């Protein structure tokens, strides 16, 4: 399923729920987390509804490669200082024991000066 009408992040991607957008292309979307843990904290997601990292298929390797290559660029654009003094943290919570609350694959990209609120 490419769009799940009951999925919060599908609604955000479709613009049905407002968000502070960071990036958009034909396959990927990024927006600020509503409860940031760090001075920079945005979520980077595939537009297609994929429930979690556990649902990835071999055919998704290119998509996820693009996502991971994009993350550092967006982190810098959003104010993270460059590596190695700056940098960022990428987290992909997966499943109940992985702490996943929204079941549309997303990576958290967090950075900025410490201390952070969490993490």
Residues tagged active-site: 106
Q: Please state, in angstroms and rounded to a whole number, the distance separating the CA atoms of residues 51 and 4.
A: 10
Which of ligand 5GP, Zn ion, none does 42 bind, CB closer than 5 to 8 A by kind? none
Interaction between residue 42 and ligand 5GP (CB under 6 A):
no
**Options 41, 47, 49, 106; binder of Zn ion; rule CB under 5 A:** 49
- Looking up tokens 């990292």 gives 53
Q: Please state, in angstroms and rounded to a whole number, the distance separating the CA atoms of residues 91 and 28.
A: 17
Length of the chain, in residues: 119
Which of ligand 5GP, Zn ion, none does 54 bind, CB closer than 5 to 8 A by kind? none
Q: Between residue 19 and residue 38, which ones bind ligand 5GP under the rule CB under 6 A? A: 19, 31-35
Given the complex with Zn ion, which of 88 and 103 has the nearer CB atom? 103
Q: Please state, in angstroms and rounded to a whole number, the distance separating the CA atoms of residues 35 and 41.
A: 9
Q: Which two tokens stand for residue 52?
A: 């979690």
Binding residues for ligand 5GP, rule: CB under 6 A, are: 8, 17, 19, 31-35, 93, 99-102
């Amino acid at each position: 399923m490419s769009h799940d009408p009951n999925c919060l992040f599908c609604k955000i991607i479709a613009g049905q729920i407002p968000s502070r957008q960071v990036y958009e292309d034909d396959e990927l979307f990024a927006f600020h987390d509503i409860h940031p843990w760090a001075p920079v904290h945005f979520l980077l997601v595939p537009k297609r509804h994929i429930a979690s990292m556990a649902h990835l298929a071999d055919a998704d390797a290119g998509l996820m490669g693009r996502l991971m290559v994009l993350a550092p660029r967006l982190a810098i654009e959003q104010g993270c200082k460059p590596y190695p003094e700056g940098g960022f943290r990428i987290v992909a919570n997966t499943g109940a024991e992985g702490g996943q609350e929204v079941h549309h694959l997303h990576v958290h990209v967090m950075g900025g000066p410490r201390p952070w609120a969490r993490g």
